[in-house]
Structure 1
Amino acid sequence: MTFIRRVRTKSGATAVQVARYVNGRQEIVKHIGSAHTDVELGMLLERARAWIEPDQQVLDLGVTPQTPAASVLAAGQGVLLPAADDRPVVDAPGRTASTGSVVLRQILESLYDQLGFGVLGDEVFRDLVIARIVEPGSKLDAARVVRDLGKDPASYATIKRHLRWIIDRDYRDQIATKCFEHAAETGGLSLILYDVTTLYFEAEKEDELRKVGYSKERRVDPQIVVGLLVDQTGFPLEIGCFEGNKAETHTIVPIIRQFQTRHDITGVEMVVAADAGMLSAGNLKDLDDAGLKFIVGSRVTKAPIDLSNHFHWKGDVFVDGQVIDTVTPRHAKSTVNNIRHRTEPVWDPARHPKSWRAVWQYSKRRAVRDNQTLNAQETRAREVVDGAKAPKSTRFVKTTGKGRSLDTASIERARSLIGLKGYVTNIPATLMEPGEVIGKYHDLWHVEQSFRMSKTDLRARPIFHRTRDAIEAHLTIVFAALAVSYLAQHRSGLAIGNVLKRLRPLRSATIAINGTRHTFPPELDPDTCDLIDKITGPGLTH
């Protein structure tokens, strides 16, 4: 008959073996393993019983096998039975008490601390930031996400109290300061990028902040306008919100001034890039007065004015990649180009006080894309004129007292401008070549990427907060989450969604056995270790 025995090894561990009696002597049948802790001992005993049971019938004598709940292995014992003075408990089989993505949480916590956000000293806020990165949802649902990451979450009442602290203790300022320090260390402040988006609310009525305004999605829900300022790599620097009916052009200057005031950098040489939506005479003047250099997109409808010399002498013929460096009037009523001159004027702030520098580029690839769009618009316009489509606000449809007709003059004018893209700046050609102006503007995709991340991966919307303080607290969490997510993306070379897909399935298991609990980390393959080391730096996997 086989049985289980425990023996002390020379190294001080306790070996668990399956043995049997043969001719009055013990013979080892199977060496299960050696244990150094009570937890390991309990697991080895369970393994030994599982090994015996298929081959041996158990005599039901009404006696329950028992082992000590926590025996000191250093004492050593050559047999399975406990000492007479021990108090035995029922030796229940091992069970998985819980599992959690502890590795992922530790990685995100490491990035959070590396950015310096630990200066807040608020563990609940950190949990809310990490929960929003992993699985965006409501504050109430954040507790479930935190628990899935292997940590006991705070109560909902505690979460609400800490949301109040975000405003009262001005977390936004401290986070923005740490983001600025990080960008300064990495050299990303020579160019800052700005863009806006809208966040809508599940609300029936408007208030002072949440108002119905222009929506690219044609929604009629109350909304707010959110402005985001990032460095040239896409790392977030500043965030702010405005009334839902506020024009985009009225948001850039307040955000820039807020950024300058917060970090006391008035007069520091920086270049601000923004898309054509920010292009207004007032904005450009304010940025210039603030001592900032700017590069903004120009509307293609300004090309005939800016390129009047070219159109007069050379027509609408361009070659692929052609760049024209010229001037553009600051105000619609100004005239700065002179078609009597064949050459384009070179902008100089002293000689051209009524104009800005304009750089135009022609791209054959852009022309093909513009032509396809123009053809589709012309087709729709013809359908509206013919009555095949509902008469909505359609480009190239001219409405008069006699009815609708096709605006052929506008179509021809639009065709002459396909392939052109303009950029307006106050940086002289002596300081920045046209190609560099264009290249810096194209870095705007970084801020667009950050906005896509906030809308999709972080799901900053739809949000259900009612008060301005609650909305500002929510945006502060999103702001911190964007910074942590950016760092993970930048170091790993993967989108934050792919990082989560790789790391969240790595589950740590807490085993309850032999009266104790022990958490076992997941086994990491070399590729996963390399990924973690890229994100956090060496140390977390070692």
Structure 2
Amino acid sequence: MSAKGSAMHVAINRRQRTNQAGTTVEYRTALIRRSYRDNGKVKHETLGNVSYLPDHALAALKASLAGKPLIDATADLSIHRSLPAGHIHAITTLAHGLGFENLLGTKCRHRDLIMGLLAARICNPTSKNATLTWFADTTYASDLGPTSSDELYAAMDWLLEQQPRIEKQLARTHLGRQTANPQRLALFDLSSSWVTGTHNPLAKHGYSRDKKRGHQQIEYGMLATAARLPIAVRVFPGNTADPTAFITIAEEIHELAGVEDLVMVGDRGMITSARINDLAKTSSLSWVTALRNTDIQALAVDTGPLQMSLFDEQNLAEISHEKYPGERLIACRNPALAEHCKHKRENLLTATEEHLDALVAAAAAGRVTGAGAIGVKIGKVLGKYNMAKHFLLDITDTSFSYRRNQESIAREAGLDGIYVIRTNVPETSMDAGDAVRTYKSLANVEKIFKTLKSRDLGIRPIRHYTEDRTRAHVFLCMLAAHLTWHLRTALAPLTYTDEERPVGEDPVVKAERSTTAARKASTRKLATGETAYGFQGLLTHLATRTRNTVSVAGVQESFELLALPTTTQHRAMELITAHLEKLTAQPA
């Protein structure tokens, strides 16, 4: 038998009985017991009956016997520090439920730091050195302990080594699985961000999508699902052409996703005829893209298949042309887009004429002389608005006149609002309407870039000087965008996000927002009457839930106490849990 000094505990038993009056009565018995082993069997010895004590006294007695310190309610409490915790708690709960930590790799210091960098990128995107200050002002100060910039950069180097494995797992989960991607769609688009400094080997002058003329830049291509969930990213020198970037990812897609019958979706400048020929030689990928304006004009000649009569009763029609054997061409006309193009062109023509009139006056007054000098100034004006094709010019050494090229304007106006989808996917797999919707889903990748470049993730400017660190930074931002997608999806009922965006019968017409989303936007209220938040505003509100370091007079050790959540904060955590349960319930 064990010694009599074994630990004591409180055993509470509850039972119900029905008395003679037919009323069900609950009886509670509370006993102080000591458990011990006798010849290998667990036995209990009753030391006393404390059933007479009220529930709160029993709770205190149980806690005391369990070794927990009890605090006098009248004792002085001191809060040593309060650190923002709610936003980090939401992100880490989501990441843990997604298995994101295991996706990154085995548990180690590097993985912990990367999780911290991901949370910082979502909550407070800034430079890596500034992130250290952010760590110190959040719960990461105690969770991560002292951290140096060298450790952060070492963690990024570690992350870059994990990139091939992580991207393959993401691609096979979200692109390769039939249940996750029944249409077998993979979206790819390219963007760019400018670079600070002069030593980055990837930094080159090229077409700047950030409108940062004169700045060197890098380019990066994003592979995503049709629902705009980022899967993989590739970094290229800043002067890389779109088709080159596309063929690079196309060569890897089979290995990444583990399937052969994917449909790649890319814009007209990326999936060109030359790239299509290359794909036919080396890959079984199908594709959906669109024709360039010059190709559309070739189809719209008098004897061509693209005539305005096609759109008399509908907004889309399938056509064919010998230049595109084995392919489908779906011609679309959007009346709203046509009106927008007309209005925009007129504004640009008017703005150009204002500058040209100033040059006409300058030449007449002799302030500008010489056909060459006048031509240079005219070229700058026409290039500013890209309107050179719509003006006829007459330049001499002492004068200048112009007039609109009505034939050119009429030719362009005839194609206002018209675009042509080009694909090799058979109609049995994708009808004309679905082909249009598939191409328009490419806008979802643009939304990823918007998330990356905005206040959400702040990918730009690129401050790194080495190629590997630049690639690691972009990959880190892509992973943060992946988490942000899940976070936005989960928290959509609390934000202005349109959860019920209707799918219109006409795929050409722009989809309208749901009445619920329109009401949230106009009233800034949810259906419950509570305040609706923007995504960043909701993160700010979550951050007001603090983790507090507290001490009590007379007790040597301090303890940490998480503040009670507000109604919105509690609801946010419920939504994250529900989102994770929904993902878990999906078939493998």
TM class by smaller structure: 0.7 to 0.9
The structure 1 residue matched to 2:575, chosen from 525, 534, 540, is 534
Paired AA for residue 546 in structure 2? R
**Partner deviation per Cα, 1:231-285 (whole Å, 9 max, x = no partner):** 01011111011111111222111022233333443xx111111222214222222
The structure 1 residue matched to 2:169, chosen from 159, 175, 178, is 178
1:228 and 2:222 aligned: yes
Give the aligned partner of residue 289 of structure 2.
296
Give the aligned partner of residue 270 of structure 1.
262
Identical aligned residues as a percent: 20
Q: Secondary structure at the match of 1:523?
A: coil
The structure 2 residue matched to 1:519, chosen from 560, 565, 569, is 560
1:191 and 2:149 aligned: no
Paired AA for residue 74 in structure 2? L
Counterpart contact for 2:228–2:447, Cα < 8 Å: yes
The structure 2 residue matched to 1:324, chosen from 317, 320, 340, is 317
Distance change >3 Å, CA 263–CA 538, structure 1 → 2? closer
Give the aligned partner of residue 45 of structure 1.
74
Give the aligned partner of residue 111 of structure 1.
94
**Partner deviation per Cα, 1:418-458 (whole Å, 9 max, x = no partner):** 12122111123343221111011111121111111111110
Q: Secondary structure at the match of 1:387?
A: helix
- Report the Cα offset of residue 498 of structure 1: 4.5
Q: Secondary structure at the match of 1:277?
A: coil
TM-score (norm 2): 0.68
Distance 2:65 2:393 in 1: 89
Distance change >3 Å, CA 195–CA 399, structure 1 → 2? farther
Distance change >3 Å, CA 211–CA 398, structure 1 → 2? farther
Counterpart contact for 2:289–2:423, Cα < 8 Å: yes
Give the aligned partner of residue 151 of structure 2.
158
Give the aligned partner of residue 443 of structure 2.
445
**Partner deviation per Cα, 1:357-378 (whole Å, 9 max, x = no partner):** 2211112111111111111122
Q: Secondary structure at the match of 1:110?
A: helix
Give the aligned partner of residue 406 of structure 2.
408
Q: Which moved further from structure 2: 453-462 or 368-377?
A: 368-377
Give the aligned partner of residue 58 of structure 2.
11
Q: Which moved further from structure 2: 293-302 or 227-236?
A: 293-302
- Report the Cα offset of residue 293 of structure 1: 1.3
Counterpart contact for 2:191–2:219, Cα < 8 Å: yes
Give the aligned partner of residue 372 of structure 1.
343
Q: Describe how 1:54-65 pairs up with structure 2 within 5 A.
A: none
Distance 1:214 1:299 in 2: 18
Distance 2:296 2:560 in 1: 66
- Report the Cα offset of residue 207 of structure 1: 5.2
Give the aligned partner of residue 138 of structure 1.
127
Paired AA for residue 243 in structure 1? P
Counterpart contact for 1:293–1:427, Cα < 8 Å: yes
**Partner deviation per Cα, 1:301-344 (whole Å, 9 max, x = no partner):** 3323224467689657844742121135xxxxxxx37xxxxxxx
Distance 1:285 1:106 in 2: 50
Q: What is the root-mean-square deviation of aligned Cα atoms in Å? A: 3.1
TM-score (norm 1): 0.73
Distance 1:244 1:539 in 2: 38
Counterpart contact for 2:328–2:423, Cα < 8 Å: yes
Counterpart contact for 1:194–1:272, Cα < 8 Å: yes
Distance change >3 Å, CA 501–CA 422, structure 1 → 2? farther
Distance 2:94 2:59 in 1: 40
Counterpart contact for 2:83–2:547, Cα < 8 Å: yes
Structure 1 residue ranges without an equivalent (≥5): 1-7, 15-33, 47-92, 329-335, 338-346, 350-355
**Partner deviation per Cα, 1:87-146 (whole Å, 9 max, x = no partner):** xxxxxx532222233332232123223333323131111111111111101112222333
Give the aligned partner of residue 545 of structure 2.
506
Q: Secondary structure at the match of 1:140?
A: helix
Paired AA for residue 197 in structure 1? S
Paired AA for residue 460 in structure 2? R
Counterpart contact for 1:206–1:212, Cα < 8 Å: no
Distance 2:308 2:164 in 1: 53
The structure 2 residue matched to 1:127, chosen from 116, 132, 136, is 116
The structure 2 residue matched to 1:362, chosen from 333, 340, 354, is 333
Paired AA for residue 501 in structure 1? T
Paired AA for residue 273 in structure 2? A
- Report the Cα offset of residue 474 of structure 1: 0.7
Give the aligned partner of residue 246 of structure 2.
252
Q: Secondary structure at the match of 2:132?
A: helix
Distance 1:519 1:319 in 2: 71
Q: Secondary structure at the match of 1:211?
A: coil
Distance 2:70 2:124 in 1: 35
Q: Secondary structure at the match of 1:210?
A: coil
Counterpart contact for 1:454–1:482, Cα < 8 Å: yes
Distance change >3 Å, CA 231–CA 432, structure 1 → 2? same
Distance 2:438 2:243 in 1: 20
Give the aligned partner of residue 61 of structure 1.
none
Distance change >3 Å, CA 400–CA 138, structure 1 → 2? same
